[in-house]
Amino acid sequence: MDLAWSAEDRAFQDEVRAFLDKELTPALRERGRRMTSVYADYDTSMEWQRRLHARGWAAPAWPTEFGGPGWDVVKRYIWARETSIAGAPPLSPMGIGMCGPVLIGHGTPQQQAYYLPRMLSGEHFWCQGYSEPGSGSDLASLQMSAVADGDDFICNGHKLWTTHAAVANWIFCLVRTSREQIIQQGITFLLIDMATPGVTVKPIISLSGEHIQNDVFFTDVRVPKANVVGRVGEGWTVAKYLMQFERGGGVSAPGLAARLGKIRAMAEAEGLTENRSFMARVAEAGIAVEALEAVELRVMSKLSNGEAPGAESSLMKTVSTELSQRLTELAVEAAGVYATPYQPHAVAPGGPSPGFTPPADGFVAGPERAWTVTSKYLNDRAGSIYAGTNEIQRNIMAKAVLGI
């Protein structure tokens, strides 16, 4: 495995840094620094996407024929690393990072021509309709029905934990078009306009007080059959293809390293550097971050050679989310009493905070370094659940690696 950057790679790294210096405005940097969720709020995400789209860099993994930059694996890694270090707010992954690659891999030319440019521009903002009551980790047991009626399907069902459904205008859903003995069969991947009559969105308020997640109800929603991606009844194959992009191939270590640096600075400010127990846990987290980065580089090397990451996708998802949770715990401990106040007006939540009225004078308690720690801690409890629970990921690793 050769991990040395070529002269071309170093030149590209310089180009990325110059772009970030110019386009990542102080306001965007501040919002990125104050984020409490894995998602930026809609307005922040859209502002950053417009700047990226103008440069042709909104979809780093897309080929040039579909509007992407056509970067190889190394350039995509450099981009992800530099944006993470710079503190750029992330784009919503549901469109460009998930549905887009699915349409590139499984969509018709007509679907690609219509949806992909609108994803890039931000005209279409997507959400993901997978989880249902009782069908989360066991996704194949989903019950939302789609019954054929001429050129349409009539859809009825309930999706939940649907991120940003309140601001999305399109949703990609797994629906049941037939009932088969094998539950993975009879599932279809369907694109639904959120403005269609019969679609109702209701908020779910998270532990941190943010409105990011939602219930989405479908009552006799009429959807054209032309909106099926892949074949009717073979949506499970499309869904597994999408999960490669949801679970693996990401770059987490640089962002985790940056957060660990902030924890060290907080520990110094709070006089914790002489606390051997605390600093030992910080050091252990640092070792884990470096180990994760080594795995990410190894996967990058495999992808560069045309190999699939396999079970390493599950490994990276599990390690990165649990390590992120460890960092939130260390941050709360380092913040001490300053972690107590609830003050979403001081941070950049992933969505609105219903019922909260900020103080008239804008007063914020405690030092800035502590403002985000509790909301981030509460948000990160979901990290080991979304994109397939870590228990499911361990099952995948046990089967694929250990053969059990």
Task: Provide the annotated active-site residues.
Answer: 246
* DSSP H or E segment with residue 173: strand 170-176
* DSSP H or E segment with residue 32: helix 26-33
Residue 156 corresponds to which amino acid?
Answer: N
* DSSP H or E segment with residue 193: strand 187-193
Token reading at 175: 């629906």
Q: Are 293 and 286 in contact (CB under 8 A)?
A: no
| CA proximity to 386, closest of 128, 205, 169, 185 | 128
Find tokens 């560069």 and name the residue. 304
Alpha helices in 130-270 (DSSP H): 235-247, 253-269
Alpha helices in 134-275 (DSSP H): 235-247, 253-269
Burial class of 345 by CB neighbour count within 10 A (0 to 12, 13 to 18, 19+):
middle
Find tokens 């907080």 and name the residue. 266
Q: What are phi and psi of 186, to 5 degrees?
A: 85, 10
